[in-house]
Structure 1
Amino acid sequence: MSRPRTFVPPVGARAYALATARGEFAVIDAPVAAGAEPKGIALLLPGFTGSKEDFNPLHEALGARGYRTVAVDGRGQFESDGPEDDESAYAQEELARDVLAQAAAVGDGRPVHLLGHSLGGQIARAAVLLDHKPFRSLTLMSSGPAQISVPQQQRVKLLRDALAVLPMAGVWEAMQAMEAPEELDEGGPQDLAGQNGQEDQEDLRRRWLGTKPAQLLAAGRQLCTEPDRVDELAALPLPFHVLSGARDDTWPLPLLDDMALRLRAHRTVVEGAEHSPNTERPAPTAEAIATFWDSANS
């Protein structure tokens, strides 16, 4: 799970329910900075156990480069509604169709840049494979070609087993007791201790309790069984960007490097970051994203 520096939207950004053809989704919508030349719109999809707030550190810098950025809670994530118990509602194709509807609502007829972090990258990929026309480019941030690594699959299994016998609040308490903050990473019941004290911790707990159990169960299964669809993606006429930290236990860097070659993608490695460069090194991450979007525009 990414740990946002704050759950408060950046100055000038709006938090609201985005109306789409497939229902409403909670978003943080950040405008182009005053005086900057508008260059485009981007839709940002968070990862497993994450939320729209994971992109809070990027909005201001991307707005200064001329991009309106809209970060979204997917179906059943944090402040977007979804069924508690029906895992079929969170099938990957259903989530991909949600993304197409979000892009249509945000872009209002114009193609948008699409960025997905981790699980969000695989959902973004599925959306583009359904219909690439609503998108100007695709950035896969810390999101690999197929299923997650074996150690992370084991962590996801722990989470799934816990959800089968405990309520969400009970799973939270169990995770707090099990894991030390320095040992945590995305992919399962970990990375749950706040960096900035009790307020941070309470925000993370609130996000956890707002997420639907069926969404976590379905998403965990997807992460552990996702097939390699890179060749399908490479056949599309879109610019691609593969961005990651310098270390990643969820998809090791050689896998991401190889995926970038197969996609003929622009490749960025953010030094000093691991699985969540958006929160760990936001300044160079935003710089790399905006530079890629500039090149995709031209």
Structure 2
Amino acid sequence: MSTPRFLDLPPGVTPQKIETPQGTFAALEAIPVSGVVERWPAILVPGLTGSKEDFIAVLMTLAQSGRRVVAIDLRGQYETPGPDDPAAYTCAALGADVDALSQVIGGGDPVHLVGHSFGGLVGREAVIDGRTRFASFTLMGSGPGAIEGRRARAGRKIMEEVPALGLEAVWHSRFEPEVLAQDVPDEIMEFLHKRLLANSPTGLSCMAEQVLSMHDRTDELRQIEVPTLVLYGEHDDGWPPEAQSEMAARLGADCVVVPGAVHSPAVEAPETTAAALVRFWNAAEKHFLDIRSNAV
């Protein structure tokens, strides 16, 4: 489990509630502290046990490129409520939520979509379903199908233990020992505990089942022809780096390997990650504008 570098919000970042036809979603919104919003916005989608706070360290760098940048909690995650209906937590259902959020945030403009880990699988559904026009799509530490290795074992335990034992028991048996081993500050420990307990138990166990059973949709994603970036840590322990590299090749996508990072580049190497995203977003916008100019 990677932890946010800090929990105090930097200048220009504010908590928001975003109203959509799919419901209300908790978010952190970043806008430039100097200059103006002149580029297309971006939406950042967290992983299975994560939240919008996982992007705190990159929000202002991304916004200073002239964008409104919005990190969200998915349905049933942390500060976004969710129902007890398991059908609400399939990747397709959550992808429809991302569609709705992107349409509200974009306000008619294309939106850059970033999905971390499980959030990448959710974002992929939103891209493939064709309901929303995305400026670009980034898979961050997210692979072509089901998660593998140590994180797959952790996902199975979440799927099995949360319905049987409850979130508090799972915190003490699984999450707390891992956090203590990282020697994180007390305030971050308190935040991680609070965040886990705020999740929908149904949502968490159903999302874990989804990340363990997802099939490969790389060929379908390639057919959409949205500019795509595959970005991952060189030591990723979720999807093997070689699997993500192969996926990038199949997609014809840009590929960035973040030195020293594991599964959460936005936490572990925020400046490198933010710089890669800004370069990619700028290039995607230029490509779009060139195509539109040539069409005219």
Do the structures match in fold with TM over 0.5?
yes
Moved more, 215-224 or 29-38: 29-38
The correspondence of residues 229-268 of structure 1 with structure 2, limited to 5 A, is 229-268=217-256
* In 1, Cα distance between equivalents of 2:91 and 2:222: 19
What is the CA-CA distance between 1:6 and the residue it aligns to? Answer: 2.3
> Who is 1:148 aligned against?
147
* Pair 93,180 (structure 1): closer, same or farther in 2 beyond 3 Å: closer
1:272 has 2:260 as partner? yes
Shift in Å, 1:37: 6.1
Gaps of 5+ in 1: 183-192
Shift of 1:161: 2.2
2:60 paired with 1:66: no
What amino acid does structure 1 have at the position aligned with 2:198?
Answer: G
Match of 1:97 in 2: 96
> How does 1:51-200 map onto structure 2 within 5 Å?
51-83=51-83, 85-131=84-130, 133-176=132-175, 178-179=177-178, 195=184, 197-200=185-188
Secondary structure of residue in 1 paired with 2:224: coil
- Per-residue Cα deviation, 1:131-174 (whole angstroms, up to 9, x for no partner): 16421000000000001114332221222222132121121111
Q: Distance in 2 between matches of 1:203 and 1:263?
A: 37
- Count of matched residue pairs: 286
Q: Distance in 1 between matches of 2:207 and 2:164?
A: 18
- In the alignment, is the contact (CA less than 8 A) between 2:230 and 2:255 conserved in 1? yes
Name 2:289's counterpart in structure 1. Answer: none
AA matched with 1:199:
E
In 2, distance between residues paired with 1:47 and 1:220? 10
Q: Deviation of residue 108 (structure 1)?
A: 0.8
1: CA distance between counterparts of 2:52 and 2:41? 16
Query: CA separation in 2, counterparts of 1:208 and 1:177?
Result: 11
The corresponding residue for 1:18 is: 18
8 Å CA contact retained: 2:163, 2:205:
no
SS in structure 1 of the partner of residue 53 of structure 2: helix
Native 8 Å contact 1:129 1:233 kept in 2: yes
What are the superposed Cα offsets for residues 54-93 of structure 1, whole Å, 9 maximum, x if unpaired? 100001111222221100000000000002x321111121
Is 1:132–1:236's contact at 8 Å kept on the other side of the alignment? no
Q: Unaligned 5+ residue runs, structure 2?
A: 287-296
In structure 2, give the amino acid aligned to 1:111. P
* Aligned match of 1:190: none
Instruction: Name the TM-score, length of structure 2 as normaliser.
Output: 0.92
Distance (Å, rounded) in 1 between the aligned partners of 2:243 and 2:138: 16
Could you tell me whether the CA contact under 8 Å between 2:31 and 2:37 is conserved in 1?
no
Following superposition, which runs of at least 4 residues in structure 1 exceed 6 angstroms of deviation? none
The TM-score, its normalising length taken from structure 1, stands at 0.92
1:142 to 1:297, Cα distance in 2 relative to 1, 3 A: same
Partner Cα separation in structure 2 for residue 155 and residue 210 of structure 1: 19
Root-mean-square deviation (CA, aligned residues, Å) is 1.6
Aligned to 2:28: 28
Contact 1:119 1:223 in 2 (8 A): yes
Q: Equivalent residue of 1:161, what SS?
A: helix
Q: 1:177: Cα distance to partner?
A: 5.9
What corresponds to 2:216 in structure 1? Answer: 228
d(CA) in 2 for partners of 1:103 and 1:48? 20
Distance in 2 between residues matched to 1:154 and 1:270, nearest whole Å: 24
Contact kept in structure 2, 1:9 and 1:28, CA below 8 Å = no
Match of 2:8 in 1: 8
**In structure 1, what residue type is equivalent to 2:154?**
R
Give identity over the alignment, percent.
39
What amino acid sits opposite 2:77 in the alignment?
Q
Aligned residue for 1:25, secondary structure, equals strand
Q: Is the 8 A contact 2:51 2:77 kept in 1?
A: yes
Kept in 2: contact 1:36–1:65 (CA 8 A): no
Q: Aligned AA for 2:91?
A: Q
Q: Is the 8 A contact 1:118 1:140 kept in 2?
A: yes
Deviations for 1:242-264, whole angstroms, at most 9, x for unmatched residues? 00011111101110010000111
Structure 1 residues 29-38 or 203-212, which shifts more?
A: 29-38
In structure 2, the residue corresponding to 1:235 is in which secondary structure? helix
